[in-house]
Amino acid sequence: QVPLKPGRSLMDWIRLTKSGKDLTGLKGRLIEVTEDELAKHNKKEDCWICIRGFVYNVTPYMEYHPGGEDELMKAAGTDGTDLFDQVHRWVNYESMLKECLVGRMAVKPIAAPKDGVYLGVIKDQRISNSTDFFIVLGFDKPKESIFLLYFLFYSYDWFQTDSLITVVIYTKQKDMNAELVIVDCQDKRLRGEIIVDDYSYLVEVDLDHAVSEDVTVNIAEKVGKVEIILKKKDNIHWKMLGQSCEGHNTFIKRTDRGLFYRKCKLVSKTEVTHDTKLFCLMLPRGTHLCVPTGHHVYLKQIITGTEVVKPYTPVLPSLPLDFKEPPHHDGVHIYLMIKIYSCGLFTQALDRLQIEDYISVSNPEGNFKKSQVQTSEDLILLAGGTGFTPMVKLLNFALAEVSCLRTVKLIFFNKTEDDILWRNQLEQLALRDERFEVQFILSQPTKDWVGKQGKISSSLLSEFVKRSRKDSKVVVCICGPTPFTEQGVQYLKDLGYSQEEIHAFTA
Ligand code: FAD
Ligand code: NAD
């Protein structure tokens, strides 16, 4: 993120798009754009970008782009879809840039294969009535040869009794678990998504008849079988499961699947500090969703007519002080700890939400893998402000489930004492669990503060980030404002920590 000039906030952009000004220079006309034409508009003062086949004139948006003009210019005059997906595929550009739409590409440009390997999926080669047979082929560009990467036998089936409909998805995944299965059943539409590394398998149908809101999901973890059990509203015989929706029965890259949102009810809002609140959202009854440790969700609100999306990392209702039992996800509530900024577009709107109001919550995303800490002996967490949020579930997971851990240390950077989130709970935890230690460091302390002060620096890190033994296996996780995270990673590398030993939480 770069500092934006005054008058160039997201709110200012939304105002400009509503002003009726001609932002494309085409007076509302939509045109078909050839690749040659697109390539001509590659300057700051005349910049067109193609995203998923649609071309936008982003010239007026330049100064409003939170990532800065240079980032946007990387895609000037080209197909920026891949770049966009890498950096922020969650941003609802269709809504944000709708007034900048120039038109469609005449021929949809094909994104360049990554690393010279093109993955093509040949789908729907039926080898039996109920089994779809997927072949994933790799195309090795330098050698110009095609090779078989792997076979996937992903399929679904369904059956019924008088009162129930059971949809079964066979994944053949040995380590299938609740975090990899996301089910939504609302208004006669069933959507079941299975996550397999970077891929997603989807079953999505408009059901033939109405079902009740209760949905049961059973997962046979060892064989990878997922059962979605729906209750019929009327005890009639169904002739078919329903009509297939777009994307039904496909196995594609996760990044190619649009973000799915469901409306969640705000059930409580409690103060954590003077500016930070804990929001408790309730998932609809037909939703099965567990947010994995270290992953975030996107919240979506319509603010003065424009859809605005921001990421937030779910926490727990409180820090469990007894780690004898692995944490139990109640499957119903999502807790978010959110700082309300006095001039924050999204957080101000969030703060205005009343209990029982609804807000859209996406499927989880993130690249943190529990396996990164599963074999570590020392876990060091560096958090700045609300960068504490991913550390909550991580702390819980580490202390409850990682048996080889000897030390867990949280180094928590804040501006003032009043900004420290869950300070009491953290101190309590340190008293109760001898593996856990917490260090608070303030950047703007009052003169009464006797603890450590300063911002993240090489000397502070060399003082607090240490292995418990010379050769112990360590993981350092870092999250906070972007400059904090970037500087922290650099200092850690300077101190001799390898890339594999560091995990930085980012968007
Ligand atoms: P904006 O309208 O974007 O900004 C208005 C003003 O607020 C800015 O000028 C600045 O003064 C201040 N401000 C805004 N954003 C920041 C910032 N990021 N750092 C410092 N000052 C800022 N936030 C949480 O509170 N809890 C979370 O769990 C959480 N999880 C996140 C997870 C990810 C992966 C990422 C990338 C961000 C996360 N954030 C979290 C930040 C959140 O997404 C928003 O950026 C934040 O809520 C501000 O949004 P806004 O629209 O209110 O502010
Ligand atoms: P803040 O402004 O209260 O700052 C907290 C501390 O961070 C400061 O005391 C200081 O020590 C450090 N810090 C702040 N700015 C710095 C800078 N420029 N250089 C070095 N250190 C700096 O923080 P906040 O308002 O609570 O913001 C928290 C940030 O964490 C937000 O930017 C948010 O987007 C980010 N966040 C990211 C994720 C994620 O990526 N997964 C999750 C949660 C929060």
* Residue 287: CATH number of its domain: 2.40.30.10
**Which CATH number goes with the domain that contains 168?**
2.60.40.790
| Best CA proximity match to 62, nearest among 5, 147, 107, 110 | 5
Closest residue to atom 31 of ligand 1, CA basis: 312
Nearest-CA residue for ligand 2 atom 33 is: 481
Indicate whether 356 and 377 sit together in one domain: no
**End-to-end alpha carbon distance in the chain:** 11
Please, which residues have CB within 8 angstroms of residue 388's CB and are 6 or more apart in sequence?
A: 337, 412, 421, 422, 479
Q: Is 347 in the pocket of ligand 1 (CB under 6 A)?
A: yes
CA dist 69 and 458 (Å) reads 31
Residue nearest to atom 6 of ligand 1 (CA): 344
Q: What is the pTM of this model?
A: 0.84
List per-residue pLDDT tens for the chain, 507 residues long.
Answer: 778 888 899 889 999 998 889 999 888 888 889 999 999 999 999 999 999 889 999 999 999 998 889 989 999 999 998 888 887 777 888 888 989 999 988 865 444 444 433 344 333 333 333 334 444 455 555 555 555 444 455 788 899 999 999 999 988 777 888 999 999 999 899 999 999 888 889 999 999 999 998 999 999 887 888 999 999 999 999 999 999 998 898 888 888 888 999 999 999 999 999 999 999 999 999 999 999 999 999 999 999 888 999 999 999 999 977 655 555 567 899 999 999 999 899 999 999 999 999 999 999 999 999 998 999 999 999 999 999 999 999 999 999 999 999 999 999 999 999 999 999 999 999 999 999 999 999 999 999 999 999 999 999 999 999 999 988 999 999 999 999 999 999 999 999 999 999 999 987
Q: Which pair of tokens denotes residue 11?
A: 């709110």
Does the CB atom of residue 345 touch ligand 1 within 6 A? yes
In the listed set 205, 237, 257, which residue is the last one of a domain according to the structure? 257
Q: Are residues 492 and 394 in the same domain?
A: yes
The confidence score (pLDDT) of residue 127 equals: 33
Q: Which ligand is nearest to the CA of 506?
A: 2
Domain containing residue 27: CATH number: 3.10.120.10
The span from the CA of 466 to the CA of 464, in Å, is 6
What DSSP state is assigned to residue 130? S
Gap from CA of 292 to ligand 1 centroid (Å): 21
What pLDDT sits at residue 222? 79
- Same domain membership, residue 445 and residue 407: yes
Q: How many domains is the chain built from? A: 4
Kindly list the distances between the CA atom of residue 327 and the CA atoms of 156, 184, 267, 367, 399, in Å, as whole numbers in the listed order: 31, 23, 21, 21, 10
**pLDDT value of position 241:** 95
- Sign for the pseudo-dihedral over CA of 215, 216, 221, 226: negative
Residue 431: predicted pLDDT? 94
Query: Which atom of ligand 2 has the smallest separation from the CA of 507?
Result: 40
The reply to whether 315 and 381 lie within a common domain is: no
For residues 309 and 90, is the Cβ–Cβ distance under 8 A? yes
Classify residue 365 by its DSSP letter: B
Q: Which atom of ligand 1 is nearest to the CA of 1?
A: 18
Ligand 2 proximal residues by C-beta, below 6 Å: 296, 313, 339, 384-387, 389-390, 413-415, 419, 443, 455-456, 479-481, 483-484, 487, 505-507
Rounded (to 5) percent helix, strand, coil in the chain: 20, 35, 40
Beta bridge partners of 121: 136
- Kindly state if the Cβ of 68 falls inside 6 Å of ligand 1: no
CATH number of the domain that residue 479 is part of: 3.40.50.80
Tell me which residue range forms the domain holding 195. Answer: 147-257
